[in-house]
């Protein structure tokens, strides 16, 4: 298919492998995650004009004021989720669809919600074109989760907020894990929350900067 070779074509596997080496040196140890990154064409999740930068370890604009997350952060969050061996995962903030694509290689089913309609449509098209069949996307305010398909073994929120939306905690299975950047627009920490029979145990991992979690659908 022509779309696969768009832009950097043949060199993309080499640059992708280089990215994986870099992530490994930065402390990403889970080989399943590294393998997923090595086999996912990130250049097809950004605009053609940015394709040549797709394997740099950096966030890139995807339009509508939003960004595709930095690969290191995608890897870090994915590693956190895999620790609880999830089968069904909810993502809030589909964006480009890259994080969902990574997850789709590692779990049975990915549900992903996005509040910006054109991004939802584009991500859905990408999944269809690239053959990711276990991802279901919905245009909605993900702060409310996706009750129809919950509860989930793991939840990943790829936009930052001052607190975890209560509906998401409710839709997390016992033993489940939620990762989300928590804080204001300038200072956020990547938090990892595990649901136990008595409490939600929170561990703060590292400082991060994400676009804000916004209520409603725009
Ligand atoms: N996971 C994405 C990162 C996208 S940036 C990727 O791999 O490309 C975060 C996304 O969250 C943006 O697209 C933004 O529109 C979306 N978002 C923000 N608030 C939201 C909400 N309440 N519900 C659903 N999506 C939201």
State the Cα–Cα distance between residues 124 and 129, nearest whole angstrom. 9
Residue 123, SS3 per DSSP: helix
CA 10 to ligand 1 center in whole angstroms: 30
Plot region of 204 (φ>0 → left; ψ -120 to 50 → alpha; else → beta): beta
Grade residue 186 by pLDDT with cuts at 50, 70 and 90.
Answer: confident
Q: Which residues contact 101 (CB under 8 A, 6 or more apart)?
A: 40, 45, 126, 127, 130, 132, 135
Which residues approach ligand 1 with their CB closer than 6 A? Answer: 66-69, 92-93, 95-96, 98-99, 113-116, 119, 141-143, 158-159, 211, 213-215
CB 74 within 8 A of CB 26: no
Quote the pTM value: 0.95
Residue 10 has pLDDT above 60, yes or no: no
Q: Which atom of ligand 1 is nearest to the CA of 62?
A: 8
Domain-wise residue ranges, the chain: 64-208
CA 96 to ligand 1 center in whole angstroms: 9
Residue 12 has pLDDT above 70, yes or no: yes
Point out the catalytic residue in the list 12, 69, 112, 143.
Answer: 69
Query: What average pLDDT does this structure show over 57-86?
Result: 98
Please indicate whether residue 69 is annotated as part of the active site. yes
Encode pLDDT of 119-174 as tens digits.
Answer: 999 999 999 999 999 999 999 999 999 999 999 999 999 999 999 999 999 999 99
CA 92 to ligand 1 center in whole angstroms: 6
CATH superfamily ID and name for 64-208: Vaccinia Virus protein VP39 (3.40.50.150)
CB 213 within 8 A of CB 143: yes
State the Cα–Cα distance between residues 146 and 88, nearest whole angstrom. 12
Residue 163, SS3 per DSSP: coil
Structure tokens at 60: 């890139």
Encode pLDDT of 90-103 as tens digits.
Answer: 999 999 999 999 99
Query: What average pLDDT does this structure show over 165-190?
Result: 97
Encode pLDDT of 30-45 as tens digits.
Answer: 999 999 999 999 999 9
């Amino acid at each position: 298919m022509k779309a696969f070779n768009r832009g950097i074509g043949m060199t993309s596997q080499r640059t992708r492998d280089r990215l994986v080496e870099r992530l490994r040196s930065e402390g990403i140890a889970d080989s399943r995650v590294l393998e997923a990154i090595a086999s996912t064409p990130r250049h097809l999740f950004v605009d053609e004009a940015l394709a040549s930068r797709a394997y740099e370890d950096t966030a890139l604009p995807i339009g509508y004021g939003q960004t595709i997350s930095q690969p290191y952060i995608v890897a870090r969050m994915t590693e956190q989720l895999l620790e609880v061996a999830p089968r069904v995962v909810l993502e809030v903030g589909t964006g480009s669809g890259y994080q969902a694509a990574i997850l789709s290689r590692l779990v049975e089913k990915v549900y992903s919600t996005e509040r910006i309609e054109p991004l939802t449509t584009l991500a859905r098209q990408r999944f269809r074109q690239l053959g990711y069949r276990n991802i279901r996307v919905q245009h909605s305010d993900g702060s409310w989760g996706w009750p129809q398909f919950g509860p989930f073994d793991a939840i990943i929120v790829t936009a930052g907020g001052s607190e975890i939306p209560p509906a998401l905690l409710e839709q997390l299975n016992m033993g489940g894990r939620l990762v989300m950047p928590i804080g204001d627009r300038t200072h956020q920490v990547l938090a990892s929350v595990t649901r136990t029979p008595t409490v939600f145990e929170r561990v703060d991992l590292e400082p991060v900067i994400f676009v804000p979690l916004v209520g409603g659908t725009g």
